[in-house]
Amino acid sequence: MTRLTIYHDFASPFCYAAVEVARLLVLRHPVQVLWKPFEVIDYLPPRGAMPQNPAFVRRAEQARAHELAAAYGLPLHLRERLLNSKHALCAVEFARDADEASGDCAAGRLLPALYVAQYGRGLDISDPAVVVATAADCGLPDGLEAALGDARYRARVAASRAQAQALGVVAVPTWLAGDYGVVGVPEFAALERLLEAASAPTAS
């Protein structure tokens, strides 16, 4: 089975599409997906901030996000403000710990649910209350609200970002399999070729 690592950030609508792409890849190929946090902008105020990039760049990004959403049949709500994704990223790390203790797979439910909350339902997941409510709907045990203030999870998210940067990751989503990588959300066939290359036997 091929291992596929995806660096992601809830601040990116492209990662919202990537969740659906990854689901389809798992259905069609023997692949194990590991999602890792990569907080693209790690210094935003708690409720986010207005973007500084030019309006024409934002329009192009929004158009691409809508194109991907339409291609994969996803509802899409976009905000003008940049999203502070730290609470959501930390919540998934908390869920991983809870899963280790319980044998559940709540993290696997929570990650897509948070993307749906933000982009599918138009909720603001920079709000801790939205994150906690979404986690409760996914069956996470109590304790998340306190965990969101725990420095351990913030440190884990920061460490994942540093690890990604050491690998050369600069944007999300970044898909890594074997010695190969793809950035963004390319054609589905390109990701299938990535898996094929990663699973090919190496020459002796």
Q: pLDDT tens digits for 169-181?
A: 999 999 999 999 9
* In the predicted structure, residue 203 carries a pLDDT above the cut 60: no
Q: What is the dihedral of CA 107, 136, 37, 156, to 10 degrees?
A: -90
What structural domains does the chain harbor? 2-199 (3.40.30.10)
pLDDT above 90 as % of the chain: 86
pLDDT tens for each residue of 154-171: 999 999 999 999 999 999
Q: Please state the φ and ψ torsions of residue 40, each to the nearest 5 degrees.
A: -60, -45
Task: Give mean pLDDT, residues 43-71.
Answer: 91
pLDDT tens for each residue of 92-143: 999 999 999 898 999 999 999 999 999 999 999 999 999 999 999 999 989 9
CA distances from 24 to 33, 93, 119, 125 (A): 11, 24, 19, 25
Task: Give mean pLDDT, residues 46-65.
Answer: 89
pLDDT-derived band of residue 147, with 50, 70 and 90 as boundaries?
Answer: very high
